[in-house]
Every structure is written in structure tokens, then in C-alpha cells.
Structure 1
Amino acid sequence: MSYKEKLEKCGVNWPSLSRPDLPFAPTKRIGDTLYVSGQIPEVADEIAYIGQVGKEIDVEMALQSAKICAANIVYWVEKSLDGDLDRVVQMAKMNIFINAVPGFTAYSQVGNGASEIMNALFGERGEHARCAVGMGGLPANVPVEIDAVFHVR
């Protein structure tokens, strides 16, 4: 089964993104380490979810946001590896930032959406260290932003 098919089986379409006109790159490779900049729940050129978790966004919508962020991470990894995701040796770390109201505590539950995507796509190579933390706000008022680090060949 292809990576695209695995992603669609998780309920997320393969992304179609364009590089943003920002003063940083979507990915940066240093040796065998690939850093992926923070990804938001962007589908094509639209933001799929906007709002704060616990206010405009419920846990299920936040979980879906995390899945979209994870898919966008994989998209940029594929681009940086010339279309060959088999060059991923191991996902090392994922940081999940959640724009949530004070008192919200289901950060791990939201983060599981992204972790499940990586595990489904990469199997053991997708097992990673991570943190899921609450923020008082995120760019464009998105509910979730995720960055990641991969070991690649």
C-alpha cells in the first residue's frame, strides 16, 4: 500500500501545498537530520480549522486538525526527499502546540491524532518522542501547529 493510500485510510487526503512566501523553509536538512517547520491545518491554500480548542473548536475537530498537520509534515518530508519516503530511517520527535482555553487538559488526546498518522504511515519507523503542550494562541488562530524531526538517508 502506498503512503498516499495509507494516509487516505486514516481519513486524510494527500496534501497539495505550495511553499509559503515566508522568511524560512518548510524543511531544513543538516546531515541525516531533517527538520520540518511548524505545520498548520492547511488544506490546499485554505485553513481547515480556525479557533481555540475548548471555545470554537472541540476535541474531535482539534484531533482532525492534528491529523492534517501531520499529513502536511509528511508532504514536506516527501518533497525534501525527492518523492521517496522510504528514505525516512526514523521519525525522531514531534512537538504539538495546541491553542486552548485555560483549564483544557486533553493535550495528549489531540496529539494522538498526529502520532497515529505517523505510526500508520511509517510503522516502527514512525514511533517517535513527542510533547503536546497548550498555548495561549497560534498563528492565524489555528487550533494546532506541529513541527517534527526525522532521521533520513
Structure 2
Amino acid sequence: MSGRIDARLAELGIELPKAAAPVAAYVPAVRTGNQLFISGQIPLWNGELRHVGKLGAGYSLEEGREAARTCALNLIAQAKAALDGDLDRITRVVKLVGFVNSTGDFNDQPKVINGASELMQEVFGDAGRHARSAVSASSLPLGVAVEVEAIFEVA
């Protein structure tokens, strides 16, 4: 299915990865009412693990931002799968929660998660502006640098 958001992705030269299957005891998405909750996404690209590292211990801020952007692309891919391919059903990005694998003295978590936030605004425009949390984690699954989860409002 191709719509306004798919056209915007094409205009931006953005390709979505395949929606990853869950690797533990959870489902990738749950819809309740007009809200779609997407489970935390790590920087996988079509099954290939990317962005393994710890911010503040040799992994750069720019690499962290790119990891967050990859997570956001996975969030959109999961939303597309949950909405039967119709991203135009997303009326708003409500909230992102970003986890940054970082050392105790690293304090630029918000700058890292901007990689995800800025992508949502690029793709969804004003509807991509959202509430957000950006927190540090001493480790993340598979040693990835970032994990991001989302809540979308849908029609």
C-alpha cells in the first residue's frame, strides 16, 4: 500500500527495514483504542545487528544518533506491519522513550535520542512532534548502543 507517508519516505530517500520478529516473550506491537504501542526496537537492519557499543566508552555521539535513527526506522516498520501497511493511519507520534547504553559520566542521552526524534519529525511533520524520555542504561540487549520504544495515535 502506498500513501502520503510512503511518498514522504521516498521523497526523503528513506527505506524501511523489514519488521523484526520478537526475540523473547513479547509482541512487537499492541493496539488499544486509538493508540499503538511499539515494543523497544534495537538497531537491527533486516536481521543484521548494527551499532553495538557504549556511549562514553569509545562510541561517539554521532554513532549513537545514527543508532537512534535506525531504531526509529524499525519503529516505523513495526507500525506499518501492525497497521496492515497503511502508515497514513498514524495521526500523531505521541511519545518516544529512548535508552542509551552509556557510562555513568555520559550525560548527552537527549542528544543521542534526537536521532530518533528528528526522524519522526522529518517523516510525519508536525504530527511527528512528541513527548519523550531519554535515559541512560548500564547495558542493553546484545550490547547495542540504543533502544527506542514508541506510542503512536492511530485512526
TM-score interval, smaller chain: over 0.9
Contact 2:92 2:153 in 1 (8 A): yes
Question: 5 Å matches for 1:20-59?
Answer: 20-59=22-61
In 2, Cα distance between equivalents of 1:54 and 1:7? 31
Q: CA deviation at 1:105?
A: 1.0
Give the structure 2 partner of residue 151 of structure 1. 153
The ranges of structure 1 where at least 4 consecutive aligned residues each deviate by more than 2 angstroms after the TM superposition are none
Please tell me the residue identity of whatever aligns with 2:10. E
Q: Which runs of 5+ in 1 are unaligned?
A: none
Task: Tell me: CA distance 1:82–1:17, structure 2 relative to 1, closer, same or farther (3 Å).
Answer: closer
Contact conserved, 1:7 with 1:71, CA < 8 A, in 2? no
Residue of structure 2 aligned with 1:5, choices 10, 13, 25: 10
What is the aligned counterpart of 1:60 among 59, 62, 77?
A: 62
* CA deviation map 1:49-82 (0-9, x unaligned): 1111111411111000000000000000011111
Q: Aligned equivalents of 2:146 and 2:84: distance in 1?
A: 27
DSSP 3-state at the match of 2:110: helix
> Percent identity of the aligned residues?
36
Aligned residues: 150
User: CA contact under 8 A between 2:54 and 2:101: conserved in structure 1?
Assistant: yes
Q: Which residue of 1 aligns with 2:84?
A: 82
Q: What is the match of residue 108 of structure 1?
A: 110
Conserved? CA contact 1:38–1:148, under 8 Å:
yes
Asked if the contact 2:100–2:136 (Cα under 8 Å) also holds between the matched residues in 1, the reply is yes
TM-score normalized by structure 1? 0.92
Cα deviation, residue 6, structure 1? 4.7
Distance in 2 (CA, whole Å) between partners of 1:34 and 1:90 is: 10
Amino acid aligned to 1:60? E
Unaligned runs of 5+ in 2: none
Q: For 1:35, what is the secondary structure of its paired residue? A: strand
Instruction: Tell whether the 8 Å contact from 2:69 to 2:116 is kept in structure 1 after alignment.
Output: yes
Q: Is it true that 1:135 corresponds to 2:145 in the alignment?
A: no
